[in-house]
Amino acid sequence: MTPPDQTATGLAARLREATAVEHMDTENRGFITRLMGGELDIDAYVRYLAQYAYVYRALEARQAQPGDPAFLADPALPRFESIRADLEHLGASDWEVVHPALPATRAYAAHLESIADSDVPRYLAHHYTRYLGDLSGGQAIAALVARHYGATDDQLAFYRFEQIDSPVRYKRRYREELDALDFDESQEQALIAEAKLAFGFNAAIFEALGGQLAVAP
């Protein structure tokens, strides 16, 4: 994980710094480190991807709300259709049957659905956590899954943002949009608390996937 920019003082930098511990804890969970280290197999990746199909379907089901900042509805970001296409190319077109949502995944999806009509800060926390993660560590994940497990380009559409020419520039603009939000202190604290919660939901999914490995025959 890239350390927080110590020279930045805006909302984006404060959010990143406030969630650094949770971010590190999540990305160091055993399942994801083993998967990215090449210790598992393509089937483990399929199970991982299927769980996130449920998450993104819930995240992207939200309808635009009055007062939403425009970047929340950027059509360059949604991932569910790409995940579904990847699963089909991975031989898991019946992913909802073969890989039902784990309890941790159901909890995350249900939470996303419960805040769909809430104020912007809480939903934004999950938008930020997922999409900026996909544009950052997600790019490394794609390379590692291809290297270790032979995944093809057709199986890695999840990580290709066809409408974004430069993830680095896009992430910079996204953070500038965050900094431009006129959040008061209570809204900022709600954003930070919800982002911490988002990392916790992701960590729980990794733990659940790791538990599947432990009981595999």
Q: Where are the domains of the chain?
A: 11-215
CA distance linking residue 8 with residue 143, whole number of Å: 30
Averaged pLDDT for residues 24-38: 94
**Average pLDDT across the chain, whole number:** 93
6 pLDDT above the threshold of 60:
no
What are the φ and ψ backbone dihedral angles of 107, each rounded to 5 degrees?
-65, -40
CA distance linking residue 120 with residue 11, whole number of Å: 14
pLDDT confidence of residue 5: 43
pLDDT (tens digit per residue) in 69-80: 999 999 999 999
Q: If we measure between CA atoms, which residue out of 184, 185, 198 comes closest to residue 123?
A: 198
Q: How many CA atoms lie within 13 A of 119 on its CB side?
A: 10
Helix locations, 37-102, DSSP H:
42-59, 80-89, 95-98
pLDDT confidence of residue 1: 39
pLDDT confidence of residue 3: 40
pLDDT confidence of residue 216: 54
Q: What residues have CB less than 8 Å from 3, skipping those under 6 apart? A: 20
**Residue 103 burial (10 A CB sphere; 0-12, 13-18, 19+):** exposed
pLDDT confidence of residue 8: 61
Q: Determine the 3-state secondary structure of 213 from DSSP.
A: helix
pLDDT confidence of residue 119: 83
What is the CATH number assigned to the segment(s) 11-215? 1.20.910.10
pLDDT (tens digit per residue) in 96-145: 999 999 999 999 999 999 998 878 999 999 999 999 999 999 999 999 99
pLDDT (tens digit per residue) in 160-214: 999 999 999 999 999 999 999 999 999 999 999 999 999 999 999 999 999 988 6
Contact 145, 158 (CB under 8 A): no
pLDDT confidence of residue 65: 85
The CA-CA-CA angle for residues 87, 89, 91, to 5°, reads 70
pTM of the model: 0.93
Contact 130, 194 (CB under 8 A): no
